[in-house]
Amino acid sequence: MKNALKYLPWIVFVLAILSVGQKLASPDTVDSQFNLEAFRQLPVSANGRTKPLDTVARNSLMSISGRQSMRTDDKKFTAIEWYIELITNPKQAIQRNVFRIDHPDVLAMLKLDAEKRTRFSFEEVLTASEEINNQAIRASQTKAKARDPFQRAILVLNERMMLFSRLTQLEMPYLVPPISSGEDWRPFVETLSLNPDDPDARALLNILQSYRDNEVLAFNEQIAQFTQQIDNELGYVAKKSRYEVIFNYVQPFYTALVLYVMAFLFGCFGLLSSQLSSKKELTRALLNSMTALIVVAFVVQTIGITSRVYLQGRPPITNLYSSAVFIGWFGAILGLIIDRQMKIGLGGIMASVIGFGTLIIAHNLGGSNDTMGMMQAVLDSNFWLATHVVVVTIGYSATFFAGFLGISYVLLGVFTKTLDHERGKSLTKMVYGIICFATLTSFVGTVLGGIWADQSWGRFWGWDAKENGAALIVLMNLLILHARWGGMVKDRGVVVLAISCNIVTAWSWFGTNMLGVGLHSYGFTQSAVFWIAMFVLSQLVLMGIGLLPMSLWRSKFQRVKPAPKS
């Protein structure tokens, strides 16, 4: 039994690698006689950047339908199959049930039967297009924070209909590449109307007509010729486009998310076994298995972040989505380092919790939008993105990690007998050390942000909500350090104050960006209000639990006296 447990972490490690490798070994190919693989790799221009048609199709279908594939009674359509049908056979495409509509008042207004389905065709929705447009105009005239659920649902439906129409009419993306003309990317229909003999537009037209007429050989020959021409003239763009298609179906961040969940389960079972079993070999095997999974998840996440850097040509953090991914990634680093120092697995468990949580946040932030889209002009600086943004985000990650270690201290101390004096001391030392690191990075990042603001807006400090949040993180971390140095708090006080930093950090990182406040805002989101409020409430409850009298804590922190010498 002991020998078998010794190999468990290696078995878990190998299985995790095989599961990741299986994604690459069995790519998400399109089952069709038409060479849609080459078609979906074609580079196009949309929303300010060059991307493959695969990305356009996935994001568009996700925006309209809420998923990246479409099902009929007898077939499952990939996103690229749905897209090419949409532009070559719109009469059939408008009958596909792809519009997701959930709000009962919207369904009632459209007179749609929603008993057995939540997705409807463009043809069904189009009958009430005038009413939808009128309601959308009224909703748009209401401030975002004052809109009711019906108004928000109407605006979403109206945006989906507009997107569907623009795709059908080939207004976007820009399909005609600058191959022979030396110009920028051009819209397909407009190019043909201005110059019916344009060679690049004609080549695309022949490809689409061959698909419409079900001419498999002609389609495959023409797409091969067109692809070769793009490779010759736009080699680097074509190479990145193919890589992005691979990135799309591998989904490294989703894979890492699953691995973090598995790591968390192994870590919990490891802690549980340390309480219920006297076999240290079992506990160590489970915790080492957790570490193995975190290592694989970290490597996968690193590959994902590196891929985004390559595809964007930017540093790793360019928007709120990528900041969430980065926070979880750096949290994994901290967790692995801490587990090297502490042998009870808490670092790994916290790394898996933060990794999973931030990737879930990133998934919801990404939604149906292009997470590698064009940035605002003020952010168009690789130097500051690589310095200020990276450093301040490391500060966020470290502060969160200290706060979550504080949560583990409170929960384990109050509800279990796991924390004795030595483990409690070791844990609070870790919290203290991470807070020191977080203070340094938060301060340096905030100062760098002030210099950037001075260059961009002509002032170092303007009491913007984001600037205030960054300053509050620095001040809260300094407060903890000064309170500890001055003897005003001891171990329990440090961890409770560390939990309070989660509230400040969440507001600075997330709240100021999603609640429509200040120069750094990305817009108001109703769901963000709810989840931030729930997070703040949970942290306040945990702080309250941490302040319970020590007599109510199950763990006893008295130092164990050494046995007298005989």
pLDDT of residue 317: 87
Segment (H or E) for 106? helix 104-110
Higher pLDDT, 280 or 154: 154
Higher pLDDT, 503 or 279: 503
Checking if the pLDDT of 496 tops 80, the result is yes
> In the chain, pLDDT over 90 holds for what percent of residues?
48
Contact 529, 343 (CB under 8 A): no
Checking if the pLDDT of 318 tops 90, the result is no
List the one residue out of 98, 76, 94, 73 whose CA is nearest residue 85.
94
Per-residue confidence at 540, pLDDT binned at 50, 70, 90? very high
Mean pLDDT rounded to a whole number for the chain? 87
Mean pLDDT of 360-383: 72
pLDDT of residue 55: 93
Per-residue confidence at 379, pLDDT binned at 50, 70, 90? low
SS3 517: coil
Cα separation, 349 vs 272, whole angstroms: 13
Cα separation, 262 vs 322, whole angstroms: 23
Contact 404, 361 (CB under 8 A): no
Mean pLDDT of 541-547: 94
Give me Rg for the CA atoms of the chain.
Answer: 27
> In the chain, pLDDT over 70 holds for what percent of residues?
91
According to DSSP, the β-strands at 69-71 and 76-78 are: antiparallel
pLDDT of residue 514: 72
Cα separation, 511 vs 144, whole angstroms: 16
Checking if the pLDDT of 517 tops 80, the result is no
Per-residue confidence at 559, pLDDT binned at 50, 70, 90? low
Q: What is the pLDDT of residues 26-74, one digit of tens each?
A: 666 677 788 999 999 999 998 888 999 999 999 999 999 988 888 877 7
pLDDT of residue 2: 59
Q: Which residues have C-beta within 8 Å of that of residue 403, sequence separation ≥ 6?
A: 498, 499, 500, 501, 502, 505, 539
Contact 242, 52 (CB under 8 A): yes
Domains recognised in the chain with CATH numbers: 1-30+252-375 (1.20.120), 35-243 (no CATH), 392-557 (no CATH)
Contact 303, 325 (CB under 8 A): no
Cα separation, 245 vs 473, whole angstroms: 39
Q: What is the pLDDT of residues 234-288, one digit of tens each?
A: 889 999 999 999 999 888 999 999 999 999 999 988 888 876 666 678 888 888 8
82 Rama sector, left if φ>0, alpha if ψ -120 to 50, beta otherwise? alpha
In Å, how far are 67, 87, 129, 165, 527 from 159, measured between CA atoms?
16, 19, 12, 10, 19
pLDDT of residue 32: 78
Mean pLDDT of 509-519: 73
Contact 474, 432 (CB under 8 A): no
Least confident stretch, 232-236, 370-374, 456-460: 370-374
Higher pLDDT, 84 or 23: 84
pTM of the model: 0.89
Least confident stretch, 170-179, 381-390, 395-404: 381-390
pLDDT of residue 203: 92
Checking if the pLDDT of 377 tops 60, the result is no
For residue 51, the number of C-alpha atoms closer than 13 Å in the C-beta half-sphere is: 22
Cα separation, 334 vs 395, whole angstroms: 12
Mean pLDDT of 159-183: 87
Q: Which residues have C-beta within 8 Å of that of residue 91, sequence separation ≥ 6?
A: none
**Burial level of 436, CB count in 10 A (0-12/13-18/19+)?**
middle
What DSSP character marks residue 31? -
Amino acid at 314: R
